[in-house]
Structure 1
Amino acid sequence: MSSDDESHARGLRRLRRYTFFTLIGSGPLSLFMSASFLASSDMDPTVLPLAAGAVVGSVVFCTSALALHWHGEGMWRRRIFWGLGAALLVAGAAVEASTHQIGDAWAAPAGLLVAEVTLWAPRGKRARALMTGSACAVALVAVLASAGLMARESVLMAMVLVAVVAATPVCQLWHYQVALDLEEARGLAAKLAVAEERLRFAGELHDIQGGNLQAITLKAQVARRLLDRDPGRAAEEIHAVEELARTALKDTREVVGGYRKVALTDEIDSAARILKSAGVQATVPDEAPTLDADTEKLLGLLVREATTNLIRHAEPTAANVSIVEVDAQITVTVTNNGAPEPTDGGHGLSMLVERFGEAGGKVEHEHDGDRFVLKGTLPKAPAPMQPLRPLRIGPRPRRAVRR
């Protein structure tokens, strides 16, 4: 576990302890407020112990129900405790009403009862349940006040105490649940980042090694055919295979280290060398425009994928790579003959379509007889740290690479 993970776990444990003590502490706090009201009241001394016992019992039962909620216990036990707490609250208030107006000592225990009822509601509806429960408690006090059983000032006291006592544990539990959700989201984000990195690595490995391995296969086939007829030429081809293998190994290490950069000019030069080795007459641009890194990477991947597919699936004699800049867009087109019958696009083309789409561009391909055209278009962004220059309209100068 990393230091950040340990810090998050430690903070979550502290928040859990704080939430638990806040939740359970709402009981003693309510009891203290009720005791303060009872101590300052002029209730009959013979009734006071009964009222105090009812307050204590109601608070204990309701706090126990909140503790069961914290530990994830079943609903039926919580409802039994809540019912006992409510019964004691009503009995104590009735005892007080028999000799005296009902005082404000019952507001805090009533808030605990409202808090427990609120937690019965599903997440997302508890704010409404809290407001409804508090409003019902205040309405009951207003009815009792209008009947002369409570002082009119008790309505205002109930509005404050019931809402505050009820909201304290509910909001604290909500805060803790939000922290849990954020921690879960953070863990999910970390897993997604790992999965994304694996996909990126797989894509980079496919992009970089596809052409190298195809060229190695081609060179090995040529060397095998020339082994008996022209040993000297076969030795040259085997040496070329060795060099290609070294390049492939170097590229693999760079991919693993994250240092491999795809440049459009390098990919065009690599395509020219591979096509020449395959005996294909190729025409490629003399130079590539200066582009931002992301655009160069995508266009370079398109040239690489087209070259790999051309060697692997077609039997071309000629190929053409062109670059056209029009307005704020740049298009790279790879054309070859000797294409086989059209088939469903492979993984490489699907990957290109997805990547170009994410960058605001598009990839098109079409068959015309034995002619295959692959075209990729991207919005052209100014290269970093480069002065702006006029766009060149039309195809770039091209150079011929002959057998």
Structure 2
Amino acid sequence: MPPEPEASALNLRRLRTYTFFTVIGTGPAVLFLAVLFIAGSDMSDIDMALAGGAATVSVVLCTAALALHWHGQGPLRRKVFWSVSLVMLVLGAAAEARSGTVEGMWAAPAGMLVAEFALWFRPGRRARALLLACVAVLAAVVVFAQLGWFSIGAVVVTVLMVPTVSTAVVCQLWHYQVAQELENARGLAAELAVAEERLRFAGELHDIQGGNLQAITLKAQVARRLVTVDPERAEAEMRAVEELARAALKDAREVVGGYRKVALADEIDSAARILESAGVQATVPDAAPSLDEDTQKLLGLLVREATTNLIRHAEPTAANVSIVEVDAQVTVTVTNNGAPSPTGHGNGLTMLKDRFTEAGGTVEHVHDGDRFILKGTVPKAAPQHPQVPPQRREAKPRRAVPVRRIAPKRVRR
């Protein structure tokens, strides 16, 4: 399970503190190693003081450059500190060379210089810069050893310390950067999830309550007109308004809870009832085909959106809903008359197109005189077949023949 946001942020702060003290603490550790080498050398007091002072200044300046990198400040100052640190490293090694061959006390400070040099580059190029810098330092030490300036021990210590110190510093910073990017990605994913949930809620609320509220409005208008002419029928219309209001309330609660399941057959029956209440002759399929849940939801939303639109924006007298299956695709078409002139696309059709597109389907709508045709096509999910034995799988192939099935219809008046 992923960590809670508070725990994740706390862990990132702890990792930041740990990385800071690990990287900055490399300086004192490197200086301590250099002092141990100096204390065990055979240098004179003056050369020992010069070498110790040079090592201290070099390590302090390089540590300061790393601190500036950590806070994202002073790229120019970092290069100045690094340059002075390199000069002090060379002068300290020269002071030791006056008393004999140079030992390995300068390997750890050189590793810090290599790490700071690699951090000048972008993250994608740091590994290459680190490798090239380590190879350059090792090659220089080998050449100096061949000239007699460095001892064999210095070569061995350099081979061990320079890659170890430099890689440790760079990798610590890289680990923290990766953790920070993951935390940012987690926050972005949370924001996207909230935005997606808001869009889902808005779409569900529009799809569900649009048709219900429009039907309630029509029923209330009919009841108002009949209250003085035919009180019994007006009372029946008001009972229908009450039932629709209760259904709308139930649907709203299910949307809020996220539990509502959209079934194509239920949406077709609901559309037939709403159209019948509005005095529209509706021709709908007798039964919906057996489809997976996601496909039924998409096609059900199309039927719901078409019903809402034709009641809200048109003055139809007849509407037709058809379902056609061709091979691995299902197409639902809703046609009605009494459509007004096109004035643009509403939010409902836009959201519907987006949902069909995500599922690999299409939504088309056409104005033909006073007829409005809304057609949605979506691929059916592949059926889950049991494991087929090899001998059956190798049966002689047959030419595929497109299958076209049209659901039978009934008329609701």
- Matched residue, 1:23: 23
- Matched residue, 1:137: 137
- Matched residue, 2:33: 33
Give the 3-state SS of the residue equivalent to 1:207 in structure 2.
helix
Distance 2:168 2:155 in 1: 20
Distance 2:5 2:123 in 1: 28
- Matched residue, 2:169: 169
Give the 3-state SS of the residue equivalent to 1:306 in structure 2.
helix
Backbone CA RMSD of aligned residues = 2.5
- Matched residue, 1:394: 405
- Matched residue, 1:201: 201
Conserved? CA contact 1:55–1:92, under 8 Å: yes
Conserved? CA contact 2:102–2:154, under 8 Å: no
- Matched residue, 1:340: 340
Distance 1:385 1:6 in 2: 45
Conserved? CA contact 2:42–2:99, under 8 Å: no
| Structure 1 residue runs without a partner (length 5+) | none
Give the structure-1-normalised TM-score. 0.91
Give the 3-state SS of the residue equivalent to 1:187 in structure 2.
helix
* 1:359, distance to aligned residue in structure 2 (A): 0.7
User: Residues 42-77 of structure 1, C-alpha deviation per residue, up to 9 Å, x if partnerless?
Assistant: 434552333233223322232233233324443344
* 1:325, distance to aligned residue in structure 2 (A): 1.6
Q: 1:275 to 1:120 in 2, by over 3 A?
A: same
Q: 1:384 to 1:235 in 2, by over 3 A?
A: farther
Conserved? CA contact 1:316–1:338, under 8 Å: yes
- Matched residue, 1:351: 351
What code does the residue aligned with 1:397 have?
A: P
Tell me which moved more, 124-133 or 189-198. Answer: 124-133
Distance 1:342 1:56 in 2: 81
Give the structure-2-normalised TM-score. 0.88
Conserved? CA contact 2:323–2:332, under 8 Å: yes
* 1:102, distance to aligned residue in structure 2 (A): 1.8
Matched, 1:292 2:292: yes
User: Residues 278-310 of structure 1, C-alpha deviation per residue, up to 9 Å, x if partnerless?
Assistant: 111111111112221111110100000111111
Give the 3-state SS of the residue equivalent to 1:338 in structure 2.
coil
What are the within-5 Å matches in structure 2 for residues 69-108 of structure 1? 69-108=69-108
Matched, 1:310 2:310: yes
Tell me which moved more, 172-181 or 321-330. Answer: 321-330
- Matched residue, 2:269: 269
Give the 3-state SS of the residue equivalent to 1:215 in structure 2.
helix
- Matched residue, 1:237: 237
What code does the residue aligned with 2:410 have?
A: R
Give the 3-state SS of the residue equivalent to 1:376 in structure 2.
strand
* 1:16, distance to aligned residue in structure 2 (A): 1.7
Distance 2:375 2:274 in 1: 20
Distance 1:382 1:272 in 2: 30
Distance 2:201 2:315 in 1: 30
Distance 1:80 1:385 in 2: 70
Distance 1:266 1:73 in 2: 64
User: Residues 148-171 of structure 1, C-alpha deviation per residue, up to 9 Å, x if partnerless?
Assistant: 322466445434322221121111
The sequence identity of aligned pairs, in percent, is 65
Conserved? CA contact 1:292–1:382, under 8 Å: no
User: Residues 300-357 of structure 1, C-alpha deviation per residue, up to 9 Å, x if partnerless?
Assistant: 0000011111111222111111112221111111111222223432221121111111
Conserved? CA contact 1:292–1:383, under 8 Å: no
Distance 2:211 2:383 in 1: 27
Conserved? CA contact 2:104–2:153, under 8 Å: no
Conserved? CA contact 1:295–1:378, under 8 Å: yes
Tell me which moved more, 294-303 or 76-85. Answer: 76-85
| Structure 2 residue runs without a partner (length 5+) | 387-401
Give the 3-state SS of the residue equivalent to 1:319 in structure 2.
strand
- Matched residue, 2:393: none
What code does the residue aligned with 1:359 have?
A: A
* 1:111, distance to aligned residue in structure 2 (A): 1.1
What code does the residue aligned with 1:221 have?
A: Q
Give the 3-state SS of the residue equivalent to 2:124 in structure 1.
coil
* 1:260, distance to aligned residue in structure 2 (A): 1.5
- Matched residue, 1:255: 255
Q: 1:171 to 1:204 in 2, by over 3 A?
A: same
Q: 1:99 to 1:385 in 2, by over 3 A?
A: closer
Conserved? CA contact 1:26–1:168, under 8 Å: no
- Matched residue, 1:147: 147
What code does the residue aligned with 1:396 have?
A: A
Give the 3-state SS of the residue equivalent to 1:324 in structure 2.
strand
